[in-house]
């Protein structure tokens, strides 16, 4: 069967009326003016531009071009040369019905969304384990330096605090450094690498040294278990993934900066908080401090929250305390075998610290 066609030979733009014949080996193009036949072998077909409603165009790899209107021709070559005349996945999707297209998009979209909120953050957290400690310390130090201008260090209280912690063993591989900052906020936070910042406001809530040690043990556990790095990596990996998807890598650098600044208000996940609580409790027992200091502190905080509604202690916004949390701490204390030693020096230092104006 021969199909009428328009033929451009790839040498000039002059159209020629021809007849095309499809064979297993390729296309025979019968030129009308002189009885010549041009042969296109199957492999030399570069592209088939299908258009069922008007002209189908078949491009030869050397530039020549055939225009055939007969829709049967397209069917014939699709069967005869499936490789050349076939469609890519994208072509096939584009040719789909709307309903099929939408359902595929929704299914894959949901899968990608789940990936972004579960697997990716988990991978990020795993990656945090491979960061060398020295880098973690450098990072913490540079964040601390960036924050310093905005903080007023309380050197007297810091000295007393350092004195107190020197009597404790926090089983940390990090160079722990404690600092008290003059600030009304009832808050404290740990930077990666061992810096722990305590706001003077939170000291006012405490009744004895055990509560202070409860707070410090909790924060030290955040440091020991790289919680801030893990939390940053968790969030960062999601951001990175999302910006990769939307091809917007420039956003990533600004997010890194953003994160560094928001480390003060970085909130940990429930599991990380629980881990810090339980590990902190162990440190308390190890040092023979009264482990009840920790749940007592949390209880004080909660009461403060009730007392002045509208001004929640900042510590609570980053370390959400619930009665459930106090309960499991008490339960854990009941289960464990602990001894409380007499810490006369600590009491003395604590009294001094409290009495400072």
Residues that bind other proteins (CB under 8 A): 8-15, 46, 49, 57, 59-60, 63-65, 89-90, 93-95, 101, 105, 108, 112, 241, 244-247
Distance between CA 25 and CA 44 in Å, rounded? Answer: 11
Which residue, 246 or 308, is less far from other proteins as judged by CB? 246
Non-local CB neighbours of 294 within 8 Å, separated by 6+ positions? 211, 214, 215, 217, 218, 277, 280, 281, 284, 329
Which residue, 12 or 337, is less far from other proteins as judged by CB? 12
SS3 category, 275: helix
| CB of residue 11 to other proteins, shortest distance in Å | 5
Cβ-count burial 64-81 (b if 16+ within 10 Å, e if not): bbbbbeeeebbebbeebb
| CB of residue 92 to other proteins, shortest distance in Å | 9
| CB of residue 312 to other proteins, shortest distance in Å | 37
| CB of residue 33 to other proteins, shortest distance in Å | 14
Rg over CA atoms, the chain: 36
Tokens found for residue 64 = 């020549």
| CB of residue 63 to other proteins, shortest distance in Å | 4
* Tokens 């491979």, residue located: 130
Which residue, 49 or 341, is less far from other proteins as judged by CB? 49
| CB of residue 348 to other proteins, shortest distance in Å | 48
Which residue, 94 or 267, is less far from other proteins as judged by CB? 94
Which residue, 55 or 333, is less far from other proteins as judged by CB? 55
Non-local CB neighbours of 85 within 8 Å, separated by 6+ positions? 45, 48, 50, 74, 77, 78
User: Do 192 and 229 meet the contact criterion of CB atoms below 8 Å apart?
Assistant: yes
Angle formed by the axes of helices 120-128 and 227-245, nearest 10°: 140
Which residue, 14 or 24, is less far from other proteins as judged by CB? 14
């Amino acid at each position: 069967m021969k199909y009428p066609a328009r033929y451009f030979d790839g040498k000039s733009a002059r159209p020629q009326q021809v007849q095309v014949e499809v064979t297993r080996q390729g296309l025979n193009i019968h030129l009308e003016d002189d009885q010549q036949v041009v042969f296109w072998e199957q492999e030399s077909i570069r592209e088939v531009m299908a258009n069922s409603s008007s002209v189908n165009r078949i491009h030869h790899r050397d530039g020549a071009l055939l225009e055939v209107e007969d829709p049967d021709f397209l069917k014939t070559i699709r069967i005869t040369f499936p490789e050349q005349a076939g469609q890519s996945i994208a072509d096939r999707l584009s040719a789909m019905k709307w309903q099929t297209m939408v359902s595929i998009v929704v299914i894959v979209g949901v899968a990608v969304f789940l990936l972004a909120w579960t697997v990716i953050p988990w991978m990020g957290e795993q990656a945090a384990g491979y960061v060398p400690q020295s880098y973690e310390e450098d990072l913490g130090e540079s964040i601390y330096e960036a924050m310093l201008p905005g903080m007023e260090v309380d050197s007297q209280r810091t000295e007393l605090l350092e004195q107190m912690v020197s009597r404790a063993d926090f089983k940390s591989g990090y160079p722990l450094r404690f600092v008290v900052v003059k600030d009304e906020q009832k808050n404290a936070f740990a930077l990666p690498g061992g810096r722990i910042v305590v706001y003077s406001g939170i000291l006012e809530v405490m009744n004895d040294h055990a509560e202070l040690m409860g707070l410090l043990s909790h924060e030290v556990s955040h440091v020991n278990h790289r919680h801030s790095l893990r939390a940053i990596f968790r969030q960062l990996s999601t951001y990175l993934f999302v910006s990769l998807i939307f091809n917007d890598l420039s956003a990533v650098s600004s997010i890194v900066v953003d994160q560094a600044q928001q480390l003060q208000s970085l909130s940990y996940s429930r599991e990380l908080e629980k881990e810090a609580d339980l590990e902190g409790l162990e440190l308390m027992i190890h040092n023979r401090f009264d482990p009840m200091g920790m749940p007592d502190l949390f209880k004080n905080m909660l009461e403060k929250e009730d007392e002045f509604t509208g001004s929640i202690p900042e510590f609570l916004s980053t370390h959400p305390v619930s009665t459930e949390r106090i309960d499991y701490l008490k339960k854990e204390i009941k289960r464990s075998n602990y001894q409380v030693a007499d810490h006369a020096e600590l009491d003395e230092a604590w009294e001094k610290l409290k009495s400072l104006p």
